[in-house]
Amino acid sequence: MTHEELLVLIEQAANDKVTSLDLHNHQLTTLPAEIGNLTHLTRLSLYGNQLGMLPPEIGQLTNLKELDLSGNQLKALPEEIGNLTNLTDLCLDNNQLTALPKEIGNLTNLTGLSLDSNQLTALPEEIGKLINLTRLSLYSNRLTGLPKEIGNLTHLNRLSCDNNQLMTLPKEIGNFINLTGLSLDNNQLRELPQDIGNLTNLTRLSIDNNKLTSLPKEIGNLTNLTQLSLDNNKLTELLKEIGNLTHLTALAIDSNQLKSLPEEMGQLINLTTLSLYKNQLSSLPTAIGNLTHLTKLSLYSNQLTALPKEIGILTNLTSLSLDNNPLTSPPSEIIQQGTQAILAYLRQ
């Protein structure tokens, strides 16, 4: 779309008092100041263009509720963005933002804010003023930490911070009492704050590819978890409190340094998938036989020499992975025959 065509379109839309305007994938490189004349707009989509900046007149669109600027080349936002106080949804994914203006804190009606795939190194403390946010997505930035003010966002139910450089989490994360999904994959976390135990509405927690060496015992408070993933960390043990997570259906702790499992694992009676490959397990607790809903059990690349006969009770197992263990019981000729042959051998 040429500049002249865009001006004609804007003029017509202003005359018609248009409330929704879709300009996605129009190869726009700039927006004219006249965009500010579209004061009746409640929805504006500009995704998939080549915008490098926004004119300050964007701040005149004070009736906007939804603004999609994803897939552009924005390096900064004008401070006038803070005038859009009726916004409920703001999408800025896939730009080149290195910082957010403090005026972002004026957007107190926001319920959804998405900033995936930018170059943010920090968030302004004013982020804590967005107290109506329910969804905050910060995937693939360069964040090394989160401001303590983020703890004011007590209505959050989904928070994604994957693919950053987070080294710690503020204790205020424990204020997210309505959070149901928390994703922290691919960061630099070495520990979790005890306050994570306050997030008792969490159903999904993923902290793959970090540097965790232990878990706080408060993890056992997260009794509504159905999915817990801790792959590719440096965990050497699981606390007995893991047994409190009785709603878990999927537990993945692959590629850690676990040497043993607590007997309390046997309390996770709703598990259908348990993945523990690439650890240093030399034995399994007999209580594993309580996990009668298991359909998939992955144990390859450990140091197991024998399986407890109680695994034979797990009649719902359809996949049992045991490669790269020094097993003598069952013998290799049984293992080669597959899961059902292994279970039959253990029941003998």
Identify the weakest region by mean pLDDT among 8-22, 159-173, 318-332.
8-22
Domains observed in the chain: 235-348 (3.80.10.10)
Structure tokens at 14: 């202003």
Give pLDDT, residue 1.
80
DSSP string, 102-121: GGGGG-TT-SEEE--SS--S
Q: How many CA atoms lie within 13 A of 5 on its CB side?
A: 6
Q: Assign 4 a pLDDT band (cuts: 50, 70, 90).
A: confident
Q: Which residues 6+ apart lie within 8 Å of 338 measured at CB?
A: none
In this structure, how many other beta carbons lie within 10 angstroms of the beta carbon of residue 327?
20
- By CB atoms closer than 10 A (0-12, 13-18, 19+), residue 132 is middle
**Residue 272: which of 243, 246, 298, 295 has the closest Cα?**
295
Each residue's pLDDT tens digit, 114-167: 999 999 999 999 999 999 999 999 999 999 999 999 999 999 999 999 999 999
Long-range contacts of 252-259 (CB under 8 A, 24+ apart): 252/208, 252/228, 253/279, 254/278, 254/279, 254/298, 255/231, 255/279, 256/230, 256/231, 256/232
Strands 135-137 and 43-45: unpaired
Q: Assign 187 a pLDDT band (cuts: 50, 70, 90).
A: very high
Give pLDDT, residue 348.
87
pLDDT over 90 at 2, yes or no: no
Give the span between the Cα atoms of 61 and 301, in whole angstroms: 59
**Residue 18: which of 43, 50, 46, 45 has the closest Cα?**
43
**Residue 39: which of 18, 68, 23 has the closest Cα?**
18
Give the span between the Cα atoms of 152 and 167, in whole angstroms: 21
